[in-house]
């Protein structure tokens, strides 16, 4: 069924939308990647319909999510599924918090001394950012870091090669886990997920085949729709809800 007809015919809908590169375009400084008026508007429109459950599922930390989207009546997921904020505004961790692995991983990330790179600390992850680096130097250092991190062979850790980031986080915490939180709560007859990078694959793969899985950017085998960029995604969402 075409997506708009499916939307109109459905009664209990779930939207799981990534933030960076999906709802909002990338910027050199991640702190500058703020939601546009158009993005806020579509989130408001969708969440105003009582048939819709809307969640933004991001790798960002809770504080950033609160600051950018905290005033909207939507659910928020931070750090790829580690924290869940209900509509009352309270954050809950979804797994026990162990941080023992951090010093060894930080030492490895600090070994990549590429101008413009920086390390972001999250409660359950460390992220090496290289968007501001000279591209070839950044890619080269990222490949080395991934090899070194994999040599650590920590079974509880996973290493993701994201969009100009190398991200180390705890296994079992992913966006798929975040999606299961909702899937266990009820029967949705319309599900739309949208994302732009490898961490969103976990989300796509956790959803039933009937879900609309929208990849932003290059197509993905686990998605069934592709849009070019955040602007096109917002148009798709606006067309559904108008």
Q: Does 202 bind Mg ion (CB under 5 A)?
A: no
- Is 189 assigned a catalytic role? no
Which lies closer to Mg ion via its Cβ, residue 7 or residue 201?
Answer: 201
Is residue 79 at the binding interface for Mg ion, with CB under 5 A as the rule? no
Q: Give, as ranges, the residues between 4 and 43 that touch Mg ion (CB under 5 A).
A: 18, 20-21
Structure tokens at 119: 């390390």
Crossing angle of helices 230-241 and 37-47, rounded to 10° = 30
Burial string for 194-209 (b: 16+ CB within 10 Å, else e) reads bbbbebbbbbbebbee
- Shortest Å, Cβ 195 to Mg ion: 6
Q: Which is nearer to Mg ion, 57 or 108 (CB)?
A: 57
Shortest distance, CB of residue 19 to Mg ion, whole angstroms?
A: 6
Q: Is 85 helix (H, G, I), strand (E, B) or coil?
A: strand
Pairing of strands 91-93, 118-122: unpaired
Residue 167 lies near Mg ion (rule: CB under 5 A): no
Nearer to Mg ion, 18 or 167 (CB): 18
Residue with token string 């933030």: 19
Range in contact with Mg ion (rule: CB under 5 A) among 40-48, 151-159, 195-203, 234-242: 195-203
The site that binds Mg ion (CB under 5 A) totals a number of residues, namely 5
* Lookup: tokens for 146: 């991934």
Judged by beta carbon, residue 18 or residue 174, the one nearer Mg ion is 18
| Interatomic CA distance for residues 154 and 115, integer angstroms | 28
| 227 three-class SS | strand
Residues of this chain that interact with Mg ion (CB under 5 A) are 18, 20-21, 196-197
Residues acting as catalytic residues? 18
């Amino acid at each position: 069924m075409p997506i708009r007809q499916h939307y109109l015919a459905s009664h209990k809908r779930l939207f799981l939308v990534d933030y960076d590169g999906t709802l909002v375009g990338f910027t050199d400084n991640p702190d500058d990647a703020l939601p546009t008026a158009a993005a806020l508007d579509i989130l408001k429109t969708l969440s105003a319909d009582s048939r819709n459950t809307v969640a933004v599922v991001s790798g960002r930390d809770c504080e950033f999510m609160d600051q950018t989207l905290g005033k909207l009546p939507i659910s928020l997921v931070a750090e790829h599924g580690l924290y869940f904020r209900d509509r009352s505004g309270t954050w809950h961790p979804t797994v026990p918090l162990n941080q023992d692995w951090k010093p060894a991983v930080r030492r490895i990330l600090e070994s990549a001394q590429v101008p413009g790179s920086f390390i972001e600390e999250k409660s359950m992850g460390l992220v090496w950012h290289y968007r501001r680096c000279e591209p070839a130097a950044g890619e080269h250092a990222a490949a080395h870091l991934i090899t070194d991190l994999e040599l650590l062979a920590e079974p509880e850790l996973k290493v993701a090669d994201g969009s100009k980031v190398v991200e180390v986080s705890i296994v079992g915490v992913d966006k798929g886990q975040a999606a299961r939180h909702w899937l266990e709560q009820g029967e949705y007859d319309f599900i739309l997920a949208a994302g732009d990078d490898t961490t969103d694959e976990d989300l796509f793969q956790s959803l039933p085949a009937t879900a609309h899985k929208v990849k932003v950017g290059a197509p993905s085998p686990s998605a069934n729709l592709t849009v070019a960029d955040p602007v096109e995604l917002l148009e798709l969402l606006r067309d559904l809800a108008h």
